[in-house]
């Protein structure tokens, strides 16, 4: 039986200031760091074979902090693709050292929903400007995007196929996987895994820094304890 752990990044500085963040690459707040540490302690006994993150620093940092608390002792190593230097610049030449690492892959498909022209705007000020009803539609409808941004539907259309292609096969191989990403990309994955309707996924709330554990066996992925 394999395990899949999904974790939304810890609180970011723009979460703290109530700003729409989307693809803007901002770091964790002090509280977010503490949330990631707490998550790492909860997951300290887990053994991971592969780690996936979005390309955004708040998700990558969360994954690294989580693994700093892990008791297995393996070192997460971020894999470099299309880097400025040749791949052999990142090569590990000790087989023993390489065996003690966990590969970390970043994928833009796991990035947060892109909020378009709302990115960087204060949520309360946006409601005053456009009206509570309109902002609620942008935030909570399934298929109505904000100006020049993505709806949850658009996020799901990139995230779910990527999950099917990259993570499901690894789970079938028995690999234990950690995914550190964002509220909306993870909501899309959970919608797929738990066969939620469009209405149900809109009610799904994911707390920052809180791990959600699934088990995978015989091609079936179920939430632990469900």
DSSP symbols for 193-210: HTT--HHHHHT----TT-
**Structure tokens belonging to residue 220:** 């079936």
Residue 89 has what pLDDT?
Answer: 86
pTM: 0.95
What are 110's two structure tokens?
């796991």
Q: Tell me how far CA of residue 31 lies from CA of 13, 40, 207, in angstroms.
A: 9, 14, 13
In the residue annotation, 182 being an active-site residue is answered as no
| Catalytically annotated residue among 9, 35, 46, 109 | 9
- CA-to-CA separations, 116 to 95, 145, 160, 179, in angstroms, rounded: 45, 8, 21, 25
Q: What is the DSSP letter of 30?
A: H
Catalytic residue, from 35, 46, 109, 112: name it.
Answer: 112
DSSP alpha helices (H): ranges in the chain?
A: 13-16, 30-42, 57-68, 95-99, 123-130, 132-140, 152-166, 168-172, 183-193, 198-202
What is the total count of domains within the chain?
1
End-to-end Cα distance, the chain: 16
Identify the bridge partners of residue 219 per DSSP, sorted by sequence position. Answer: none
Give the span between the Cα atoms of 53 and 79, in whole angstroms: 11
pLDDT of residue 131: 96
pLDDT at 187: 97
Q: In tens digits, what is the pLDDT along the chain, a chain of 226 residues?
A: 999 999 999 999 999 999 999 999 999 999 999 999 999 999 999 999 999 999 999 999 999 999 999 999 999 999 987 667 777 888 999 999 999 999 999 999 999 999 999 999 999 999 999 999 999 999 989 999 999 999 999 999 999 999 999 999 999 999 999 999 999 999 999 999 999 999 999 999 999 999 999 999 988 999 997 5
Question: Could you please report the per-residue DSSP string of 65-96?
Answer: HHHHT-SS-PEEEE---S-SS-GGGG----HH
User: Are residues 36 and 10 in contact, defined by beta-carbon separation less than 8 angstroms?
Assistant: yes
19: domain CATH number is: 3.40.50.1240
Is 112 a known active-site residue?
yes
pLDDT of residue 82: 65
Domain containing 51: what range?
A: 2-223
Distant-in-sequence, close-in-space partners of 19: CB < 8 Å, separation ≥ 6: 120, 121, 122, 123
């Amino acid at each position: 039986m394999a395990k899949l752990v999904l974790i939304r990044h810890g609180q970011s500085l723009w979460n703290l200031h109530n700003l729409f963040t989307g693809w803007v690459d901002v770091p964790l707040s002090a509280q977010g760091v503490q949330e990631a540490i707490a998550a790492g302690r909860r997951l300290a006994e887990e053994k991971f074979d592969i780690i996936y993150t979005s390309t955004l620093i708040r998700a990558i940092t969360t994954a690294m902090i989580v693994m700093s608390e892990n008791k297995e002792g393996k070192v997460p190593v971020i894999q470099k693709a299309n880097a400025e230097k040749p791949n052999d610049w990142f090569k590990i030449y000790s087989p023993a050292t390489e065996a003690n690492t966990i590969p970390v892959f970043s994928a833009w498909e796991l990035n947060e929903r892109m909020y378009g022209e709302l990115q960087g705007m204060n949520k309360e000020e946006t409601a005053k400007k456009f009206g509570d009803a309109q902002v609620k539609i942008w935030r909570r409808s399934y298929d109505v995007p904000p100006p020049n941004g993505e709806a949850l539907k658009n996020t799901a259309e990139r995230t779910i196929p990527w999950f099917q292609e990259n993570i499901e096969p690894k789970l079938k191989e028995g690999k234990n996987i950690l995914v550190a990403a964002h509220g909306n990309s993870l909501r899309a994955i959970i919608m797929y895994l738990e066969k939620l309707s469009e209405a149900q996924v809109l009610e799904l709330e994911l707390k920052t820094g809180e791990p959600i554990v699934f088990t995978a066996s015989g091609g079936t992925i179920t939430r632990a304890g469900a």
